[in-house]
Amino acid sequence: MRISFMMLKNPTPRRIAFYAAAFITLIVFFTISLFEWCVPHMSAVLRLVLLPLLIGMATFALVYYFTERFIYNRIKLIYKKITNDKSLDAEMPHHLDEVERKVDEWTADKDREIKTLHELEEYRRNYLGNVSHELKTPIFNIQGFLHTLLDGGIHDANVNVSYLQKAAKNAERLQTIVEDLQAISKSDAGEMHLDLQTFDIQKLTQEVLDDMELKAKGRGIKLVFKEGANNGWMVRADREAVRQVLTNLVNNSIKYGKENGQTKIGFYDMDKIVLVEVSDNGIGIARHHLKHVFDRFYRVDKSRSREVGGSGLGLSIVKHIIEAHKQSVHWRSTEGAGSTFGFTLEKSF
């Protein structure tokens, strides 16, 4: 009995066909015998109508049972698993074309998930490699300067102060990288809490330009407002976060701007938002680099980037801060002519 039960529980297609044929044969034989015994004198025409009708109904019930019991229920179980439907009462579409469509959608979603996971894994490997490289450079420099001083250079007046200054500069760069990494990490973890307030974006920009004035003078770069940008706009945002955005953009315009050139700040009224733009007339960015400018640690000109310093995370932080405000960042650049980076902020009415 156990073997027979198992054969019924998990039948092969051949066994299902055998069982169906056997039962249909029995139904036909039983129905004909019943007719001969119960109504032997029924007219041939009536018998010709009723007999196929009864046999058809019995066959339909049998085929429906086998389809429901051994095929549909199995497909339904697979369907629930692949669609992640935990409800025991949920019904699977009875039309197999609809089932096929949903399974195809599920397959496409899984393919996209797998592709995304591969891309994230590749990004993770590159990110770790870039972090290691960025940290290694200032650490290696600091070690070199300090070991030189410990090996006797501390007593050489021609190098001791110079080497200490260089070590301090690399320590500051290391601190910048760590602080920027912390900012990125908080953003990724959803821990960037915005202190929204109303303030004048022109006044905040002027504060940033005043802070960056000395650095700009070192390269002969003028920091100016575009025509019409002397009037302020009241915006609603996190003032200190926007200060960091402006600082990063102005700092980049100084680092990569043309010596004795200029950085211009512009404000544009766009109904419910204000567009802020920082433009320079520097080296610009080649077209094939433009889509990567907000990637972490991506450097358009690696030799120039090492020379001027920085963490390689400045633009990435800009993007995170502005997107946390549910606003947008845009950029345009022409190689050899300069670059413009802009962002929007909600206007305060």
pLDDT tens-place values along the chain, 349 residues long: 444 444 455 556 666 667 667 777 777 777 666 666 666 655 665 556 666 777 677 777 777 776 666 666 667 667 666 666 554 445 555 555 666 777 777 778 878 888 877 766 766 666 666 677 667 778 888 888 898 888 888 888 888 888 898 888 888 878 877 777 777 777 666 667 788 999 999 999 999 999 999 889 989 999 999 887 777 789 999 998 899 899 989 988 998 888 888 999 999 988 899 999 999 988 887 777 777 777 766 666 554 445 555 556 778 888 888 988 999 999 888 888 888 999 999 998 7
Q: With 0-12 CB in 10 A as exposed, 13-18 as middle and 19+ as buried, what is 47? A: middle
The per-residue pLDDT for 311 is 55
Relative orientation angle of helices 160-188 and 314-324, to the nearest 10 degrees: 30
The per-residue pLDDT for 153 is 83
Enumerate the H helices of 189-232 as residue ranges.
201-218
**Strand pairing of 262-270 and 234-238?**
unpaired
In the numeric block, which tokens belong to residue 219?
């390269």
DSSP 232: -
- pTM value is 0.56
- Do 324 and 192 meet the contact criterion of CB atoms below 8 Å apart? yes
The per-residue pLDDT for 210 is 92
Please report the domains of the chain, with CATH numbers, ordered by start residue: 2-83 (no CATH), 126-188 (1.10.287.130), 196-347 (3.30.565.10)
The per-residue pLDDT for 155 is 84
Q: Which residues of the chain form beta strands (DSSP E)?
A: 196-200, 222-225, 234-238, 262-270, 273-280, 329-334, 338-347
The per-residue pLDDT for 267 is 92
**Strand pairing of 338-347 and 273-280?**
antiparallel
Closest CA to 211 of 240, 168, 238: 240
Residue with tokens 């399974």: 103
Name every residue whose Cβ is closer than 8 Å to that of residue 324 and which is 6 or more positions away in sequence.
187, 192, 194, 241
The per-residue pLDDT for 236 is 94
Relative orientation angle of helices 160-188 and 96-150, to the nearest 10 degrees: 160
Cα angle 27, 29, 30 (rounded to 5 degrees) comes to 65
In the numeric block, which tokens belong to residue 92?
């699977």
C-alpha 217/C-alpha 207 separation (Å) is: 16
